Amino acid sequence: MAAFPPNEIVDMIRILGEARNNYSAAEGLYAERFPDRRHSDRKVIKRLCDRAEQGFLRRNRRKSGPDEVISLTVIGAVALNPQISTRQIKRQYGIFKSTANRVLKLNKFHPYHI
């Protein structure tokens, strides 16, 4: 589902109120009133209203970190050689420097204090 800006969510909720909480009618009324916007179906309007009732107008995206093999490789490289740099990790293991830094940060290591 694409993220809707908060002003569009508020408009959908207002139109749902005008349609007397009929999601199918709100779907048609929203498409009629805002022809230049994306038209969402009744299920999307319901999910957005539920999310707004919980107090979250912005979408809560899940953060996906590096996979377990990469994390173990970086932590293992640091355990074997505490003086290794992230550039050396990139050269030896083919793991991007930014990914190595992210793994170290997620595991509360500081590259300059290892």
DSSP state of 82: T
More confidently predicted of 10 and 57? 10
pTM (whole model) above 0.85: no
Alpha-carbon span 42 to 114, nearest angstrom: 53
Mean pLDDT for the stretch of residues 11-19: 93
Give the CA dihedral 99, 100, 106, 110, nearest 10 degrees: -140
Q: Is residue 107 within 8 Å of 75, Cβ to Cβ? A: yes
- pLDDT-derived band at 71 (thresholds 50, 70, 90) equals very high
Give just the sign of the alpha carbon dihedral 17, 19, 21, 27: negative
Has residue 25 got a pLDDT over 80? yes
Q: Is residue 99 within 8 Å of 70, Cβ to Cβ? A: yes
Residues recorded for the chain: 114
DSSP state of 33: H
